[in-house]
Amino acid sequence: MAQEIERKFLLKNAQWRGLAEGVVYRQGYLCASPERTVRVRIVGDQGYLTVKGATLGMVRSEYEYTIPLADAREMLDTLCPQPQIEKKRYTIPYHGCIWEVDEFSGLNQGLVVAEIELTSEDQPFDRPEWIGREVTGEMRYYNAALCITPYTTWKPES
Amino acid sequence: MAQEIERKFLLKNAQWRGLAEGVVYRQGYLCASPERTVRVRIVGDQGYLTVKGATLGMVRSEYEYTIPLADAREMLDTLCPQPQIEKKRYTIPYHGCIWEVDEFSGLNQGLVVAEIELTSEDQPFDRPEWIGREVTGEMRYYNAALCITPYTTWKPES
């Protein structure tokens, strides 16, 4: 089975900036339930259709297919509910691993998260100095959840 | 935009039988709302992932992609809710058009519907003698609806 094993973190400071060029991502969801999501994504000139299963800890089944840009654009414009996700992704290598820092815009402006994809749940990895609190498993930080309850609408944490 | 223009009919009699070989279809839905469906389908050794929009009359947006058989099987087995659709499809040419007769099994045993795909809403076509009442637009005959409320659970029509 295609699997995604991922850990997600907040950022402690802005020292990651300047380490990579940002690439614009646009994405929306044809369905977004806890059991499964179907995502339409545009990165540059490429469209993607991605099916993901329920998250069990840090593991999730994932099936990703490239699709024509025009199809992705039409599905985002006509089929995926609003609001959608707009973000810039910065891909930063660090000590043999790849960190993806997502800087959100639009209704999720102000939110920045970093993800690392692992090959097993217990794979050790070094944390860059700019990595903050781990939020793996916190549903509200999932992109599908950010479409429904965007970051700028969150109530201050008590 | 990719569009599907389709009319759907019940069968008046069994004279369609023997006009074509049946091919086994298995399909389930990652999402099935009136606004959009995402279907996983297996036909023979080929998997398909298909996104459809809301039906407006007999017109519907449709985006279909081939996917590996193993992916389709896993998604049907692990991600798509039960019950799913099992049917045999018979493809029957008639006076320059193609009729698809779907004979359902499993929880939809007993249901047979015929569909014709058109290139425009007002395209004329000849009806074979075995075509019965039109059910275009009757939601309960949609495959996505038949997963939720299978034919064998329908109450007798009053």
Q: Render pLDDT for A1-52 as a digit per residue (tens, 0 to 9).
A: 688 899 999 999 999 999 999 999 999 999 998 899 999 999 999 999 999 9
User: How far from A140 is each of A52, A83, A143, CA to CA, in Å?
Assistant: 16, 15, 8
pLDDT in the model for residue A38: 97
| B-chain residues near A51 (CB < 8 A) | 30, 38, 49, 75, 79
Helices (H), A1-153: 69-74, 143-148
Confidence bin at A158 (pLDDT 50/70/90): low
The shortest C-alpha distance from A108 to chain B (Å) reads: 25
Within 8 A of A4 by CB-CB distance, chain B residues are: none
Active-site residues of B, by number, are 29
- In this structure, the dihedral spanned by the alpha carbons of residues A90, A95, A96 and A99, taken in order and rounded to 10 degrees, is -20
Q: What is the CA radius of gyration of chain A?
A: 15
**Per-residue pLDDT tens for A113-144?**
999 999 998 999 999 999 999 999 999 999 99
ipTM: 0.88
Is the pLDDT reported for residue A112 higher than 70? yes
Rounded Cα gap, residues B52 and A38, in angstroms: 13
CB contact under 8 A, A35 and B79: yes
Cβ-count burial A37-49 (b if 16+ within 10 Å, e if not)? bbbbbbeeeebbb
Which residue reads 């999720």 in tokens?
Answer: A108
pLDDT tens readout for residues A67-78:
999 999 999 999
Domain B3-153: give its CATH code.
Answer: 2.40.320.10
Chain B's closest residue to A74, CA to CA, is: B1
Q: Interface of chain B against chain A, CB under 8 Å? A: 1-2, 30-31, 33, 35-36, 38, 49, 51, 53, 61, 63, 65, 67, 71, 74-75, 78-79
Domain spans, chain A: 3-153
Q: B80 is written with which tokens?
A: 């798509």
In which band, very low, low, confident or very high, does the pLDDT at A99 lie, cut at 50, 70 and 90? very high
- Of chain A, the percentage scoring pLDDT greater than 90 comes to 88
Pairing of strands B46-53, B22-32: unpaired
Which chain B residues are within 8 Å of A39, Cβ to Cβ? none
